[in-house]
Structure formats: structure tokens, C-alpha cells
Amino acid sequence: MRVIAGSAGGIRLAVSKCGVRPTMDRVKAAIFSSLGDAVVGARVLDLFAGSGSLGIEALSRGASSAVFVEADRQSAEIIQSNLAKTRLKGRIHQQDVFNFLRRASDAEMFNIIFADPPYEKTQDGRHFTAKLLANEALSQLMDASGIFVLEKQPAEALPEMKIWRVTRQKTYGATEVLFLSVDRAISREQPRMDTNQREVLKRLNAASSRHTPKPLRLEKPAVRGSKSAIE
């Protein structure tokens, strides 16, 4: 697997050996061909990041920033290594995606969100696709004109969506790629939290975090200005 284009084009990326299913180069090329110039200057969120391939490709093609969220420790370390190898910068959260979404503040908005979740079901028996598409916190992180790129199995039926609308849908072998945007007619009915409400929520989350293990935080020597420590 490699970076396809941009400042790090041609550089090969390491892949975790712990069951991660990386996006194939052919699929990745098609995704970024569809995104086109929308990547340039974009703030990117890469969920279920795996090796960081999608977020790194975006940075290579001119994205202004990238946040990587990956629960697996070994994969988070590989993202850090791949960022150093490509001399790109990003923020890495070694954390469960849904915990990240629950605690994320809508003060930081993203232009492009990638998600390549596991094909198997979650612990509560739901498909990751359905759980993501029903997650209101995810839509709150999306910029008004933002794009959500979601990968899934072609055989998996789309659930009824109340938040998102599909703008593009394409199948590449065993992978189906959905391009989605927030349905603004519905999102306008979902009031955003004001500053005081966000502060209360932040304090509640801080209080609850004292009773749960903190996610792994690793710090390694910087590589030519790299600031890609795992949080």
C-alpha cells in the first residue's frame, strides 16, 4: 500500500498485522478522484483509521490538517510511523471511535470525514454502518458543505437515514463507497449546544473520565518538525 499522489506520492505505508483491512489503492484512487480539489485546504477526520492511509493521502494532496482515530494500539503506532515516514503532521487519538464522538466538541469542524469501519457487527449486535449513520454527534462535527466518505460491504443494506443523504454511491469489487452530506432540512431542527451547555458537558465528561482508564498516550522524538504524538 502506498501514497498515490501529492507531496508524499509513491511512499509505501506500513500496515498493521492485527486484522486491519486497509483501503485498496484502486479504491483510494477512485475516492480521491471524486473528491478532487475539495481536499486542498480541508480539515480531515479519519475514523477507524487503521494505518492512516486515507488521512495521509489527504495530507499529501494538500489538506490543512488531519485527525486520526483508531482504537488499536499497534495500529495507532503505525499511523505515527507512517506520518513520520511521509514527513506529514497529524493528531492521533488511540481511542474507541464512538467514545471519541461522544466527547468531541463541535468547536472543531471538519470538511471531510472518512470512515472505514470493520465489516463485522458491534458488541451490541448492530452494524457499524448503521451505528455511524445514526450518530448525531458525527453530523455535528461536519462543516455545512462537508463530505462524509463511508466504506461498507455491498451486501449490507443501508438503514433508514434521518441525518444524511447519499450524493454518490459506487461499488469496487468487495467495497462499496458512499459519499454523504448532512440533510440540512433535518439538521436545522437539531439545535446546537451553546457555550454554556458545551461547558457543562465538558465537565461531566471530565468527571466520568476520572473513573475510566485514559487512552494510551505515547510521545516519541519529533521527526523534522513532526507533531504526530498519540493522544
pTM over 0.75: yes
Question: How far is 175 from 177, CA to CA, in rounded Å?
Answer: 6
What confidence score (pLDDT) does residue 65 get? 97
Does the pLDDT value for residue 132 go beyond 50? yes
Q: Is the pLDDT of residue 46 over 60?
A: yes
pLDDT tens digits for range 72-128: 999 999 999 999 999 999 999 999 999 999 988 777 899 999 999 987 766 676 788
- Tell me which DSSP letter residue 10 carries: T
25-209 is classed in which CATH architecture? Answer: 3-Layer(aba) Sandwich (3.40)
Return mean pLDDT, the chain. 82
Q: What is the spatial distance between Cα 43 and Cα 214, in angstroms, rounded to a whole number?
A: 26
Residue 16 contacts residue 51 (beta carbons within 8 Å): yes
Q: What is the pLDDT of residues 149-167, one digit of tens each?
A: 999 989 888 888 888 999 9
Q: Where are the beta strands (DSSP E) in the chain?
A: 43-47, 65-69, 91-93, 110-115, 142-152, 164-172, 175-182
Strand partners, 151: 177
Domain ranges of the chain: 25-209
